[in-house]
A and B are shown apart, each in its own frame.
Chain A
Amino acid sequence: AQKITQTQPGMFVQEKEAVTLDCTYDTSDQSYGLFWYKQPSSGEMIFLIYQGSYDEQNATEGRYSLNFQKARKSANLVISASQLGDSAMYFCAMRDGGGADGLTFGKGTHLIIQP
């Protein structure tokens, strides 16, 4: 069963608009962590934001925030005031308590910011 689902293969957004990238996850563990990474065309993986399953408040990092809805098992990334440099692939990932210690990744969303 797929653990991380990103339902938006691609998105086009006008510059300066806010963007929401969807992510749903599946786990039976009580303790887990959720991550978002950005991968520009150059290929590197850039960490954006982290949310722990026990964190009561949504995580924020500058223009990035994570809309964490635990009961719905969703962890959407919100980018405020999008910029041309935000154009990239965005991956949602999860570390849960079972299995390997590594991260399980979704298939990603290709975000294109238009001027």
Chain B
Amino acid sequence: DADVTQTPRNRITKTGKRIMLECSQTKGHDRMYWYRQDPGLGLQLIYYSFDVKDINKGEISDGYSVSRQAQAKFSLSLESAIPNQTALYFCATSEGVGGEETQYFGPGTRLLVL
């Protein structure tokens, strides 16, 4: 089984709708991240969380919110989706302070906002 899972894998929604993307991990990592990737570009950080009580904005957090329900679960919400939020969304995890720095990514969620 995959260590980092994302649901749904694909989603089509309409402008103005609220949607939630979910991420779960079995790696036991403290840190979790949400990124988006636009066609032809690298990934950009949306939000990150050091633990359940610690949520931080990344470079492109406007229009998004997150919830860290448990160490293993980190959800990303689009309160009112707009077409330029069409992208590939990745969740990632890494160990905490003093641990391995590598971030391990989920398989991604392809989101299309019409």
Contact = CB atoms under 8 A, between A and B. Distances in A.
A103 interface: yes
Interface string B19-43: 0000000000001010100001111
Interface residues of B, number: 26
Contacts of B43: 45, 91, 93, 103, 105
Contacts of A35: 102-103
Contact of A44 (B40, B41, B44, B108): B108
Interface in A17-33: 33
A83 B110 CA distance: 28
A49 B33 CA distance: 19
A47 B42 contact: no
Nearest to A101: B48
Given A43-B107, A43-B108, A100-B59, A50 B101 contact: yes
B2 to A, nearest CB: 10
Q: What does DSSP make chain A's interface, helix, strand, loop or mixed? A: strand
B50 interface: yes
A43 B110 contact: yes
Interface residues of A, number: 23
A45 B40 CA distance: 14
B58 A93 contact: no
Contact of B105 (A4, A33, A44, A100): A44
A102 B58 contact: yes
Interface in B29-82: 31, 33, 35, 40-45, 48, 50, 56-59
Contact of B56 (A45, A100, A108): A100
B102 A52 contact: no
Contact of A102 (B35, B41, B104, B110): B35
